[in-house]
Chain A
Amino acid sequence: GAVVSQHPSRVICKSGTSVKIECRSLDFQATTMFWYRQFPKQSLMLMATSNEGSKATYEQGVEKDKFLINHASLTLSTLTVTSAHPEDSSFYICSAHNRGNTEAFFGQGTRLTVV
């Protein structure tokens, strides 16, 4: 199957700093990428939809100025958590696909811990 690589897999940062997470589709061009967040023992919650070359569409309740999403190319989308706080500590996962896919391919996730 298609491969989606997410980096870093784990990051610890200080409160108030910013963290960038990358999501790359390695063997296909992703016209759309999705960003999800999972809190412990909870479901994956969609944060935003990222389309190449256009602004991301954020789900209700997700602060777009805090979670900056850039989908600059067909193989790369980035999520930047700005001015991170301990409550932003979570597991962030991206998924990617193109129009020909019948499933979404997920990255391996990033565990963010804000101290």
Chain B
Amino acid sequence: DQQVKQNSPSLSVQEGRISILNCDYTNSMFDYFLWYKKYPAEGPTFLISISSIKDKNEDGRFTVFLNKSAKHLSLHIVPSQPGDSAVYFCAASIGGATNKLIFGTGTLLAVQP
């Protein structure tokens, strides 16, 4: 039972364009969502998070949008850079980031120069 899903296993975009990574969840109890970037054989690196009381959070080139009614969130990266190429995981929790995280299946982003 995959509670957090990323339906696109991979995404390829041109440098300078926008990257949009999507994530869907099924558990309406989730109230905190995070995005992590991960390279092979390394631990995830935190990018950005959003509480369920908000619908948007922005940090530099990264913006996360949350649509609670659709149980959907997305990560926008603008402009995309080759260094952004990695696997991106969305994660969800109940009660904040310090509680256990349920991860999505990941999306491999490739930013072409």
Binding site for B on A (CB under 8 A): 1, 4, 6, 9-10, 32, 34, 36, 42-46, 49, 91, 93, 95, 97-99, 101-109, 111
Partner of B44, one of A10, A45, A97, A106: A106
Q: How many interface residues does B have (CB within 8 Å)?
A: 22
| Cα A99 to Cα B106 with chains together (Å) | 27
Determine the chain A residues whose CB is within 8 A of the CB of B2 once the complex forms: 43
| Cβ-closest chain B residue relative to A48 | B100
- The answer to whether B49 touches A102 (Cβ under 8 A) is yes
Binding site for A on B (CB under 8 A): 2, 4, 34, 36, 41-46, 49, 89, 96-98, 100-106
A110 nearest CB across to chain B (Å): 10
The answer to whether A46 and B102 touch (CB under 8 A), given A103-B34, A107-B43, is yes
The answer to whether A97 and B89 touch (CB under 8 A), given A91-B41, A103-B46, A107-B43, is no
The interface residues of chain A, by DSSP majority, are classed as: strand
A106-B43, A106-B46 given; name 12 further pairs at CB < 8 Å.
A1-B46, A4-B43, A10-B41, A43-B4, A43-B105, A44-B103, A49-B100, A97-B98, A102-B98, A103-B34, A106-B44, A109-B42
